[in-house]
Structure 1
């Protein structure tokens, strides 16, 4: 995927799903459908496991990692708390009310793909961007490069929309929004 342009998360009440729309600078738009069950895992266990990568690289010193997965060790409660604070700081600097500019081409189709799995492949050097991958039920894979700031922004946008959807998921987002667009 070319450089990220914008991403938008909005709730579709007819589908009872969240539509995540990601555009790049080449004018392509990728549409991903997120279910309640998927968001529960994304904003729960997955978010905790990738907490170290939600921190700026300079703040990761001393974080205990699982050597086999490269992700946060289960004993990292303080890291999770630091990452949630970092997410709030990132959110305070973002404008989630921007107008979303749709893409002109739809590599995954105009209807989009239902996401089944998410994965984060850390940059082995520990700095810069990491690979965030979304895999659909049909086997399609969308991978985007994310920094700690972008990863936190994605979590924040999805959390805000899950609150609007009234799914009862426990999140750290402070406010509700029917749509969240970030450029």
Structure 2
């Protein structure tokens, strides 16, 4: 898929993040990210996207003089600033009525596994899988992301985590005498669910 837009939104009723990716030629990929998976994905994506950014900004001939090195550093800095910028203003154009990949189906993947691979051409290959015991067909999809897209996705996930409040400390409920305290924390189930019509306004990247 030639990626056009990426969106990450927190759906409170499901206590999950909804990732949506649409293509320039049409179609949309959708995936649910649970609290456990999203918190585990962030440090991995942060590391690989950072390495991808370094490679993207350091490409070029080696400098020989001090002036060349200074100019190369300035150029690399300007390039990194440019790569980290994204269009977060244009509204996401939902294409849920036309899934990009028929085997994935109309329902979002409930992601249980993510693989991120750095490709030789400087792109990141992001693969998402839905695997459950006894499931005949393991649904999955993969996308290729350049440095601006992967860093944009990182920002969107961070915003989604802030919206979900998963990073906040659990709230302790006062216990009755003689009873152990109950801790309220985010627990994601694995049942299929539809996206509510009044879902929170998504964050998007174009």
Q: 1:87 to 1:20 in 2, by over 3 A?
A: farther
Q: What TM-score, normalized by structure 1, do the two folds share?
A: 0.70
Alpha-carbon distance in 2 for matches of 1:137, 1:110: 17
Q: 1:9 to 1:25 in 2, by over 3 A?
A: same
**Aligned residue number for residue 204 of structure 2:** 181
**Aligned residue number for residue 58 of structure 2:** 59
**Aligned residue number for residue 130 of structure 1:** 124
Alpha-carbon distance in 2 for matches of 1:141, 1:109: 10
Would the aligned equivalents of 2:8 and 2:19 in 1 still touch at CA under 8 Å? yes
* Cα drift, residue 152 of structure 1: 0.6
Question: Of residues 110, 114, 135 in structure 2, which corresponds to 1:114?
Answer: 110
1:105 counterpart = 2:101 = no
Alpha-carbon distance in 2 for matches of 1:122, 1:101: 28
Q: 1:19 to 1:48 in 2, by over 3 A?
A: closer
What is the RMSD of the two structures over their aligned residues, measured on CA atoms?
Answer: 2.7
Q: 1:60 to 1:17 in 2, by over 3 A?
A: farther
The one-character-per-residue Cα deviations of 1:104-158 (angstroms, maximum 9, x if unpaired) are 412322321111122222223xx43231111123522211111122111011111
**Aligned residue number for residue 160 of structure 1:** 159
Alpha-carbon distance in 2 for matches of 1:150, 1:115: 20
Alpha-carbon distance in 2 for matches of 1:116, 1:147: 24
Larger Rg over CA atoms: 2
Alpha-carbon distance in 1 for matches of 2:203, 2:154: 11
**Aligned residue number for residue 81 of structure 1:** none
Runs of 5+ consecutive residues of structure 1 not aligned to the other structure: 62-85, 170-176
Alpha-carbon distance in 2 for matches of 1:153, 1:56: 17
Q: What TM-score, normalized by structure 2, do the two folds share?
A: 0.62
Would the aligned equivalents of 2:83 and 2:147 in 1 still touch at CA under 8 Å? no
Give SS of 1:109's match: coil
Would the aligned equivalents of 1:97 and 1:180 in 2 still touch at CA under 8 Å? no
Runs of 5+ consecutive residues of structure 2 not aligned to the other structure: 61-79, 133-137, 169-199
Q: 1:14 to 1:95 in 2, by over 3 A?
A: same
Would the aligned equivalents of 2:117 and 2:125 in 1 still touch at CA under 8 Å? yes
Give SS of 2:166's match: coil
